[in-house]
Chain A
Amino acid sequence: MPDGKGRSRVAVQAVNCPNCGATTAVRTFGHAVNVVCQSCHSILDAKDPGVTILQKFKKAMVVEPLIPLGTRGTIPGVSHPFEAVGFQVRQISVDGVAYQWREYLLFNPYHGFRYITEYGGHWNVVATLRSLPDGDHMPGNSGIRTYQGQHYRHFQSATATTVFVLGEFPWQVRVGDQAVVVDYVAPPRLLSAEVTADKEVNWSLGQYTKWTDIWTGLSVPGQPPVVEGVFANQPSPYQGVSGRMWRQAALLMLLAAIVWVVHLATARQQQAFRQALVYNPRSTQDASLVTPVFELDGRATAVEVETASNLANQWMDVGYALINNDTGQTFEFAQGLSAYKGVEDGEAWTEGSPVGSVTLPSVPAGRYFLRVEPEAERSGKPVSYTVTVVRDVATPVWFLGALILIALPPLMTSFRAAKFEGRRWQESDHATGKSSDDKKDDDDE
């Protein structure tokens, strides 16, 4: 109760439990409504001078808070020291599975209460809201709520049951208390509403906090629980990263395109040799031949050898050897061609191509000739074909390869970001593959 100057008056500083006789300190002075005996866990009425027992502890479950009551220190986002005064374990049940989380109540005589919640190794620092989110004061089961210009997406609605309490609380607390908890998320923030049985609504805002900040600020002993899964308002490690990478990818692709265009513009694509030939597969004579010598000048660049034939329902292989007339250095390659066409069930079809080309990498300048050895089906018709040698050809292979390699990392990052979000929302009422019946069951819990 405040005195005439607005300061909190100390109502009770310690209570003796009428159940077990143990003395329990009261740290929140006049704010305490209920105090839980730290010895027998009976819930006592702190406002009653006679300290009546409101609820005796029946269950065998005793939960040791990771942040011991009486712990003092700072909490992230608040510069003033707070003291841990209360602790409760609450649970929801989804599809018959109970999920428990822990809530620590912290108190500063001048700045009131804050909460620290922990679920699966994920920590939040929570403060009650001084103003309501936009719209209805009651939470809904879906949609978006806006608070101070920030949009929060509905995550989950469930009925939470208090299963264990310790310390003191500025409200009536009982094991077995139930409230509908509705969460909306905008990582790293969590907007929550609690609706009690008598339709009282309390809104709060949580901030996802690293355990190290809590451990450091409050000098908590021991190790925190292992982090499990992805929490509702856990910030994504990929947040903003994939967007930045895609912007960089666009720039890199533009650079690659410029390099490609420069290559296209500077590639000479000079025809160095061309010869028309005829091959008769029925001939018993040796079909191999050599071409006249031709010049490949300039620096070592790619050389394309094109074979263009008049094949029709026939195949032909041409074995080539590009031989340096002076040094004897040889580049061996082959070109397989097949061209077929016909009509089946009134539908025309074609298969293969009578034209093909092979590109040789980094051929040094020099005087060359081709050794050509065609081969085809013995019973085939004579084939006319033209061999064309082009110096310094441009090919899009490297450009396309570069585009793929540039796009791959942002694609993977986007995939991982989507996977992270998928894991987050898998725990929500809006999980993919969750039926409407499942959602209804969750809501009814």
Chain B
Amino acid sequence: MSRLYFVYGLIVIGIMGTAQYRGWRLMPVTEGRTVPKSVRDNPGSYRPVYGGFWHFSGGK
């Protein structure tokens, strides 16, 4: 059991090292959309896909 655990621990460290090296993150980011260069000329024409936010609006 403890040998199996040690192998498991090594796999965890391996994944950790790879994730750190590759710069993986747990939070997903919307990726892959191809935007034409013309967006530089008219930034307002771009429509993002992200949703809204929750806002703390002050007061205790």
Contact = CB atoms under 8 A, between A and B. Distances in A.
A406 B13 CA distance: 9
Interface in B11-28: 12-13, 15-17, 19-27
Interface in A234-260: 241, 244-245, 248-249, 252, 255-256, 259-260
Contacts of B36: 328
A328 B34 contact: yes
B39 to A, nearest CB: 6
Given A241-B1, A344-B60, A336 B23 contact: no
B interface residue count range (under 10 / 10 to 19 / 20 to 34 / 35 or more): 35 or more
A333 B53 CA distance: 12
B55 A315 contact: yes
Contacts of A329: 31-34
Interface string B20-50: 1111111101111111110110011010111
Interface in A187-210: none
A362 B35 CA distance: 19
Instruction: Specify which of B2, B5, B53 lies most central, judged by the most chain A CB atoms within 10 Å of its CB.
Output: B2
A333 B20 contact: no
A361 B2 contact: no
Nearest to A396: B20
A255 B13 contact: yes
B50 A394 contact: no
A302 B8 CA distance: 26
Interface in A295-322: 300-303, 313, 315, 317, 319, 321
B50 A334 contact: yes
B36 to A, nearest CB: 6
Interface string A396-425: 011101100110011001000000000000
Nearest to B21: A263
Contacts of B1: 241, 245, 413
B57 A315 contact: yes
B10 to A, nearest CB: 7
A398 B13 CA distance: 9
B37 to A, nearest CB: 7
Contact of A410 (B5, B19, B22): B5
Contact of B55 (A263, A336, A360, A394): A336
Given A263-B21, A300-B22, A342-B60, A330 B43 contact: no
Contact of A331 (B2, B10, B13, B29): B29
A288 B23 contact: no
Contact of A333 (B9, B21, B30): B30
A338 B55 contact: yes
Contact of B60 (A260, A338, A351): A351
A288 B6 contact: no
Given A290-B43, A334-B50, A351 B56 contact: yes
Nearest to A338: B56
A248 to B, nearest CB: 5
Given A244-B2, A288-B46, A398-B19, A325 B37 contact: yes
Interface string A339-351: 0101010000101
Interface of A: 241, 244-245, 248-249, 252, 255-256, 259-260, 263, 286, 288-290, 300-303, 313, 315, 317, 319, 321, 323, 325, 327-334, 336, 338, 340, 342, 344, 349, 351-352, 358-363, 369, 371-373, 392-395, 397-399, 401-402, 405-406, 409-410, 413
22 contacts: A263-B20, A290-B40, A321-B35, A323-B39, A328-B35, A332-B29, A340-B56, A340-B59, A342-B59, A344-B60, A351-B60, A359-B27, A361-B22, A361-B25, A362-B22, A362-B23, A369-B40, A371-B39, A371-B46, A399-B20, A406-B9, A413-B1
